């Protein structure tokens, strides 16, 4: 009777080990330790895998956005070169010894460069999305009017030709030129104003030392100049206040989760956006005004380039974070779902050994008692 019990136990063990061998063999061949019976593990594994895939897909978006910014940066580099050439032309035109034909030739070159800048900025796009025409410039904050003194000669009595310059809300964009002259009756400040929008040069008038006047919204106070200061000068570049504006922007899904987005803004590098659509090099006064406009444009473009660079760095950080996130999630999913071949090999060896022991136990019982001969159809 004890042999029967032993044999029944061996049969049960054999069945169990064969089931386990099948399970472990399947895991080894598939590379997965998951099975239908481990529903919770399957759910966790799938969630981790899908989240990692989401991060990888977001990185594809980031790569595309970075490529678009690279295109924009390349275009701004070309525009920057053109602005440098324009600046040189304006400086060359600010020369009273030039003939009208000299300035006409300089103007023709300037017109060509302005056209080039407009073509490059207006045509820059990535997969049909405008990059530098202001369409995707985002929100631009309002700016107050400014009056920047770019030249202010010293005077003999101390101080400078201009004692103080203050912009107001009514300041318009242009250039204020001041020249100290001797009228015979004393020293005066001859003031002209060149309007950036029209390039019209206006003779504002003559003013005494220490007096104050308002030139197109800008308050100008003169210093204590005398006839000894005849020939000294000052120049003020004025810029009108700019109202806030809201344009479109490009939104990029830069993370695996809803709401994980990055907004890419692309400045306006057209001549209108840079404020150089009315470059006039026909006279030294106009060239001086244009030079101020061009230098403001160079500053504006520099800010646009800095913004593009900052956004590139931000996207790179998001890419790196996604990469780390995806790698960690994939590793966690692998720990749950991937077969451990070292453990599987050891387990297979153990199960094979247990199977052989069970078979040997059954064979021994069969040989000893003979009653399993008929069950296995084996003759002893």
CATH number for the domain harbouring residue 312: 1.20.1330.10
**Can you give the residue range of the structural domain that contains 160?**
146-239
151 and 235 inside one domain: yes
Q: What is the pLDDT of residues 100-127, one digit of tens each?
A: 999 999 999 999 999 999 999 999 999 9
Choice between 360 and 165, residue whose per-residue pLDDT is larger: 165
Q: How many domains, in total, are found in the chain?
A: 2
Q: Can you tell me the mean pLDDT for 156-164? A: 96
Q: Is residue 268 part of a domain?
A: yes
- The more confident residue out of 345 and 292 is 292
Single pTM value for the model: 0.73
Task: Looking at the structure, tell me whether residues 196 and 78 fall in a common domain.
Answer: no
Same domain for 118 and 256, yes or no, is yes
Q: What is the pLDDT of residue 3?
A: 45
Shared domain for 217 and 288, answered yes or no, is no
State which of 313, 328, 343 marks the end of a domain: 328
Mean pLDDT (the chain) is: 86
128 plus 256 within the same structural domain: yes
Q: Are residues 197 and 266 in the same domain?
A: no
Q: Which of 13-27, 168-182, 187-201 has the lowest mean pLDDT?
A: 13-27
Give the model's confidence band at 245: pLDDT under 50 very low, under 70 low, under 90 confident, else very high: confident
State which of 189, 216, 239 marks the end of a domain: 239
**Residues 158 and 101 occupy one common structural domain:** no
Residue 351 lies in a domain: no
> What is the Cα–Cα distance from 45 to 338, expressed in whole angstroms?
10
pLDDT tens digits, 188-241: 999 999 999 898 999 999 999 999 999 999 999 999 999 999 999 999 999 999
Give tens-digit pLDDT for 73-86: 999 999 999 999 99
Same domain flag for 88 and 105: yes
Q: Quick check: is 334 in a domain?
A: no
Domain finish residue from 239, 267, 301 = 239
Local structure of 138: helix, strand or coil: coil
CA dihedral 316, 320, 326, 332 (to 10 degrees): -170
122 and 179: one domain?
Answer: no
pLDDT of residue 4: 52
Query: Percent of the chain having pLDDT more than 90?
Result: 67
* The Cα angle at residue 313 between residues 307 and 317, in degrees rounded to 5: 145
């Amino acid at each position: 009777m004890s042999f029967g019990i032993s044999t029944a136990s061996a049969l049960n063990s054999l069945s169990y080990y064969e089931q386990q061998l099948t399970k472990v063999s399947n895991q080894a061949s598939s590379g997965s330790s998951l099975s239908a019976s481990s529903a919770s593990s399957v759910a966790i594994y799938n969630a981790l895998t899908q989240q990692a895939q989401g991060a990888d897909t977001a990185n594809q978006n980031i790569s595309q956005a970075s490529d678009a910014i690279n295109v924009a940066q390349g275009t701004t580099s070309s525009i920057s070169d053109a602005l440098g050439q324009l600046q040189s032309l304006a400086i060359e035109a600010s020369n009273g010894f030039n003939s009208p034909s000299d300035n006409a030739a300089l103007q023709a070159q300037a017109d060509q460069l302005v056209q080039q800048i407009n073509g490059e900025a207006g045509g820059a796009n990535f997969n049909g999305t405008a990059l530098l025409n202001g369409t995707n410039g985002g929100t631009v904050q309002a700016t107050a009017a400014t009056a920047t003194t770019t030249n202010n000669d010293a005077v003999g009595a101390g101080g400078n030709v201009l004692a103080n310059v203050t912009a107001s809300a009514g300041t318009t964009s242009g250039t204020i030129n001041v020249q100290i002259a001797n009228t015979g009756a004393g020293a005066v400040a001859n003031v002209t104003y060149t309007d950036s929008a029209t390039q019209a040069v206006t003779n504002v008038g003559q003013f005494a030392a220490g007096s104050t006047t308002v030139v197109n919204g800008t308050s100008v106070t003169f210093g204590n100049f005398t006839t000894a200061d005849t020939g000294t000068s000052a120049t003020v570049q004025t810029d009108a206040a700019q109202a806030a504006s809201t344009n479109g922007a490009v939104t990029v899904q830069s993370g695996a989760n809803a709401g994980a987005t990055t907004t890419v803004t692309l400045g306006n590098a057209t001549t209108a956006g840079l404020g150089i659509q009315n470059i006039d090099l026909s006279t030294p006064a106009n060239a001086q005004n244009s030079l101020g406009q061009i230098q403001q444009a160079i500053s504006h473009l520099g800010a646009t380039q800095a913004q593009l660079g900052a956004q590139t760095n931000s996207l790179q950080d998001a890419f790196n974070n996604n990469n780390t996130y995806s790698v960690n999630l994939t590793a966690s999913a692998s720990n749950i779902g991937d077969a451990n071949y070292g453990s599987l090999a050891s387990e297979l060896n153990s199960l094979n050994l247990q199977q052989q022991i069970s078979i040997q136990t059954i064979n021994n019982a069969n040989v000893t008692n003979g009653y399993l001969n008929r069950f296995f159809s084996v003759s002893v």
